[in-house]
Chain A
Amino acid sequence: MSVVPASYPSTRWRRAKVGLFRAFTILALAFVIGPALWIIGGVVVKAVPGWRWNVLTTLSQGTSGGLENAIVGTLLLMLGVTVVAGSIGILTGIYLAEIAPPTRRGRSSGAVVRVVIDVLSGFPSIVLGYVGYVALVVGLHWGYSFLPAVLILSLMVIPYIAKATESALHQVPTSYREGAEALGMSLGYGLRKVVVRSALPGIVTGLLLALAIAGGETAPLLYTAGASNTLPSIAPLHHPVAYLTYYVWTDWNQPMASAHVVSYDASLILIVMVLTLLVVSRVIVARTQRHSESAR
């Protein structure tokens, strides 16, 4: 006679719970992936049949023509945001995680900075755009141009980068910091060579998210970059800059089918740009992380 029942009721219940939990996670995943695939698929289906390669090499004529000016413009804006928001955001994150002097309770004292960041990330982008318009475009007489656009986009995404950097640094084991300290490395040197380096995947992910957001923004750019059918000027002020989302948005609102083609082309190019960015940065991160503990 067996003393042990074939299956405890509790075991069955636990299995059911695990199954339920798994079902929910899959549902959540589908909720995220579904719309993303649907959008990408929709854009590809609409854009690819009418695709002309010279879109990449000819200038826009508003509702027709190519998108060369917008591609160059968006790339330049992203580059500008990488430089401005990237450096300020990453430095802010490093300050919050590593340098802000701890309070008596052992917590970091960057509270003020953190509140500012939270408030900043709470602003709707169109409000930031309007602030940029009033303060920079009109107030400083910069006109619709590259610099106000980069500054406002940067202001918008700095919170993402700072927070991603801070949390990535919090994941770095204390033993790395202690090891660096005990070897007589200065705080800055240890941060650069040991700590920040192992936080790089998280930092880069934050930067990427920020770039994707910046590249996909329309409202703040309408207020700051203006619109242009020519290639961006070298001058950072007084010259409007073209960008892909402008054509996605304005040409979609036109009645002609030719304009819709431009809108879909601009969308497709934007998606390809973001995906390329993703892949390239993953490769770079993988290379720098080949000695990391998780990569063993």
Chain B
Amino acid sequence: MDEVTRQKATPNEVDRALAHLDPDAGRPSNVVDVRNLSLHFGAKTVISDVTIPFERGTITALIGPTGSGKSTFLRTLNRMNDRVVGFRHEGEVLLDDESIWSSSQDLLTLRRRVGMLFQRPNPFPMSIKDNVVAGVKAHGIAKGRELDVVAETRLREVGLWNAVKDRLNDSPYRLSGGQQQLLCLARALAVGPEVLLLDEPTSALDPLSTEAVENLLRTLVPALTLIVVTHNLGQARRISDRTMFFYEGRLVEHGPTPALFESPRDPDTARYVNGLMG
């Protein structure tokens, strides 16, 4: 390419050239966009009228007393509530500008793009290696020898490789709770999600394992977008960029984490972050 043509490159061409370098270029800056979302189980309203964007490549913490609807909100984002009896929703959740409930949205692909980590580590009853590649196999992302590579890459990514490399064919239940949770994280990462939903991922873990998981989560951004429910306010402060405070099904306050903790605007938020509530 000579000097003249390069100068003549249109903005469009520049965009396209950059798209090769930045996989997120051209995509909306909010990977998940929640608009006027209300959630109900039967006659009971669990979330009322929540509007909140989630910026790509950030960690958002969801805090609030037990029963305030955090898990329900989180599980809605990858449609884990759809099969729950009596569940209804109003409003929209957009993933890259497309409704997660639109008919062109394939549910299985949606769940591949929006992964989830649960409160209790839940490795499957299969070998450690098979656990890591379970989702990869299900989606036909890799097979045969490639699976070994996937397993090693993901186990290294979560810092578990050295601990388990000699017992890849062993049962996962002999690992410690923290290691099991890291294994589940490796399993979730292996299918290449864009968003990861975490529901109190460290509340069943000891402090050292918690620290390991927290440190790891920081390394996952900005490649991924994380939404983390936590009861641990210290954890919210340590790992999140933004914090949302839920109370009785309402999104009471949200903002940059330091601001929300140091100068909350709402009196309920202030009481909660100062440990005077729930």
Residues of A within 8 A of B (CB): 102-104, 106, 173, 175-176, 178-186, 189-190, 193-194, 197-198, 289-293, 295-296
The interface residues of chain A lying within 8 Å CB-to-CB of B135 are 183-185
Determine whether the beta carbon of B138 is less than 8 Å from that of A179.
Answer: no
Nearest chain B CB to A203 CB, angstrom units: 14
Q: Which residue of B lies closest to A105 (CB)?
A: B85
The interface residues of chain A lying within 8 Å CB-to-CB of B191 are 183-184
Determine whether the beta carbon of A183 is less than 8 Å from that of B138.
Answer: yes
Residues of B within 8 A of A (CB): 78, 80, 85-86, 107-112, 115-116, 118, 120, 122, 124-127, 130, 134-135, 137-139, 170-174, 184, 187-188, 191
The interface residues of chain B lying within 8 Å CB-to-CB of A291 are 125-127, 130, 170-173
Determine whether the beta carbon of B125 is less than 8 Å from that of A194.
Answer: yes
Determine whether the beta carbon of B116 is less than 8 Å from that of A182.
Answer: yes
Roughly how many angstroms separate A189 CA and B173 CA in the complex, as a whole number?
A: 22
Roughly how many angstroms separate A102 CA and B87 CA in the complex, as a whole number?
A: 13
Determine whether the beta carbon of A293 is less than 8 Å from that of B125.
Answer: yes
Q: Tell me how many residue pairs across A and B have CB atoms closer than 8 Å.
A: 88
Q: 7 A-B contacts, Cβ less than 8 Å apart?
A: A178-B80, A179-B122, A194-B124, A194-B126, A194-B134, A292-B173, A296-B173
Q: Which residue of A lies closest to B110 (CB)?
A: A184
Q: Which residue of A lies closest to B174 (CB)?
A: A296
Determine whether the beta carbon of B112 is less than 8 Å from that of A184.
Answer: yes
* Beyond A184-B138, A190-B138, A193-B134, 9 extra complex contacts between A and B, CB < 8 Å: A176-B125, A179-B184, A180-B134, A182-B80, A183-B115, A184-B191, A193-B138, A292-B173, A295-B171
Q: Which residue of B lies closest to A174 (CB)?
A: B122
Roughly how many angstroms separate A193 CA and B187 CA in the complex, as a whole number?
A: 15
The interface residues of chain A lying within 8 Å CB-to-CB of B85 are 102-104, 106
Determine whether the beta carbon of B139 is less than 8 Å from that of A178.
Answer: no
Q: Which residue of A lies closest to B139 (CB)?
A: A184
Determine whether the beta carbon of A293 is less than 8 Å from that of B173.
Answer: yes
The interface residues of chain B lying within 8 Å CB-to-CB of A296 are 171, 173-174
The one of A103, A176, A185, A193 that contacts B122, using a Cβ cutoff of 8 Å: A176
Determine whether the beta carbon of B125 is less than 8 Å from that of A198.
Answer: yes
Roughly how many angstroms separate A258 CA and B174 CA in the complex, as a whole number?
A: 59
Roughly how many angstroms separate A167 CA and B172 CA in the complex, as a whole number?
A: 25
The interface residues of chain A lying within 8 Å CB-to-CB of B80 are 178, 181-182
Knowing A173-B122, A194-B125, say if A183 contacts B171 (CB, 8 Å): no
Q: A104, A181, A197, A290: which has the most chain B beta carbons within 10 Å?
A: A181
Determine whether the beta carbon of B108 is less than 8 Å from that of A186.
Answer: yes
Determine whether the beta carbon of B125 is less than 8 Å from that of A178.
Answer: no
Roughly how many angstroms separate A30 CA and B174 CA in the complex, as a whole number?
A: 37
Q: Which residue of B lies closest to A288 (CB)?
A: B125
Q: Which residue of A lies closest to B138 (CB)?
A: A185
Roughly how many angstroms separate A90 CA and B50 CA in the complex, as a whole number?
A: 45
Q: Which residue of B lies closest to A181 (CB)?
A: B80
Roughly how many angstroms separate A184 CA and B187 CA in the complex, as a whole number?
A: 12
Determine whether the beta carbon of B122 is less than 8 Å from that of A175.
Answer: yes
The interface residues of chain B lying within 8 Å CB-to-CB of A176 are 122, 124-125
Nearest chain B CB to A180 CB, angstrom units: 8
Nearest chain A CB to B116 CB, angstrom units: 4
Roughly how many angstroms separate A291 CA and B128 CA in the complex, as a whole number?
A: 9
Roughly how many angstroms separate A198 CA and B126 CA in the complex, as a whole number?
A: 9
Q: Which 4 A-B pairs have the closest CB atoms?
A: A184-B111, A183-B135, A175-B122, A182-B116
Determine whether the beta carbon of A184 is less than 8 Å from that of B127.
Answer: no
Knowing A189-B138, A291-B127, say if A183 contacts B122 (CB, 8 Å): no
The interface residues of chain B lying within 8 Å CB-to-CB of A293 are 125, 173
